[in-house]
Amino acid sequence: MRVVLAQPRGFCAGVVRAIDIVELALQKFGAPVYVRHEIVHNKHVVDGLKLKGARFVDELDEVPEGAVTIFSAHGVSRAVVDDAKSRGLPVLDATCPLVSKVHAQSRHYVRRGRTLVLIGHIGHPEVEGTVGQVQAPVHIVSTEADVASLEIPPDTPIAYVTQTTLSVDETRGVIAALRNRFADIVGPDTSDICYATQHRQTAVRELCRLVDVLLVVGASNSSNSNRLREIGVEEGVPSYLIADSKALDLDWVTGAKVVGLTAGASAPEELVLDVIAALRQIDEVEVTQMNGTQEDIVFRLPPELRDMPSGLAAVDA
C-alpha cells in the first residue's frame, strides 16, 4: 500500500499559538489555568493540556476569582470580554489573529452604518464570537438560498465578512449572490480568508487525483476537518473523517493501492503517524508526501508571555 500525505496538513499558526499560550501560561503562572471552551477543536489536544493542569470551562462563572483565564482560538463576544474585566480576571487571549481581524472588520463596517452579513455556520463558536463583537444585528448566511431569503431591502448599504474556516471556493457563490442582490455592498478581499483553510483544501483536491481512498484526521466538531472530508466526496473519492487510529475501519482501505491522508488544522501530527502505524497492520506501507505549500507563518504571543521560551520566532500577524 502507498500512503500519500497531503501538504500542508495539520496544525496551522493560529492553533500552534493557542496551544503555546496554554502551555506557556502553565509554565509561568502554574496550574491550574482556566480555558473558556475547547482551546481548539481536538479532544487529544484538550486531554493533553488537562493532564498538564489546564481546566476547561463552559462559562466564566466557573472560573475562581483571580485565576488566569484563557479565551479559545475561536474568539469570544464583547460580553465575555466585559464579564472577565468586571471580575478582574487576568486574561490571555488565544483568539487567532485572523479571527481578530474579522472582528475588527465587522466593527468597522457597523460603525459606518452598514448592515452586516456574516458568511458562516450558525452555532459555530467563531460565528457566535463575531456576532457578539458588534452592537448591531448580524445576518448569518451559509448558502445562496440564505441570501435570497434575507429580509433586507435591496438598497440597504451592506457589508459582509466570513468565518475564517471557510475557503474562497466555499464563499465565492454566496458573495456573488450578495453582490447580485445588493447594489451598495463592500467586503474584505478574498486574500483575507484564512490562508490555512485554503491551503489545506487545495491540497486535498490535488491529493484526490492520486488516491483510491481519503482519510481525514480531525474531530467531528471541527468545521475545517469536516470540509476536507466533504471535498474528497465531491471529488468522487471514498472519504472518511476519523478522530484517531482507533476510529479507522480497516475495511475502508483493504484492497486500496493508494491511500490519501491529511489532517484538519487542529489535529496534531502524532495522530497522523498513529494512523500510518494502524495501516501497517494490514499491509506493507510506503509513505510519500505530495508537493505543496510550505507554511512558515508564526503569530506573535500575548505580551505577558513573550519572555517565555517557546522555540518559535514570533512575527506580527
- Catalytically active residues, by annotation: 126
How many beta carbons lie within 10 A of that of residue 195, not counting itself? 18
Cell numbers describing residue 175 = 458573495
Tell how strand 158-162 and strand 185-186 pair up: parallel
What does the alpha-carbon distance between residue 19 and residue 39 come to, in Å, rounded to a whole number?
7
What does the alpha-carbon distance between residue 191 and residue 198 come to, in Å, rounded to a whole number?
10
Q: Please name the residue that has the C-alpha cell 505530495.
A: 290
What does the alpha-carbon distance between residue 199 and residue 165 come to, in Å, rounded to a whole number?
11
Q: Which helix (H) or strand (E) holds 93?
A: strand 91-93
Give Cα 175 distance to the centre of its chain. Answer: 21
Separation of first and last alpha carbons in the chain = 41
Is residue 193 packed enough to be buried (19+ CB in 10 Å), middle (13-18) or exposed (0-12)? buried
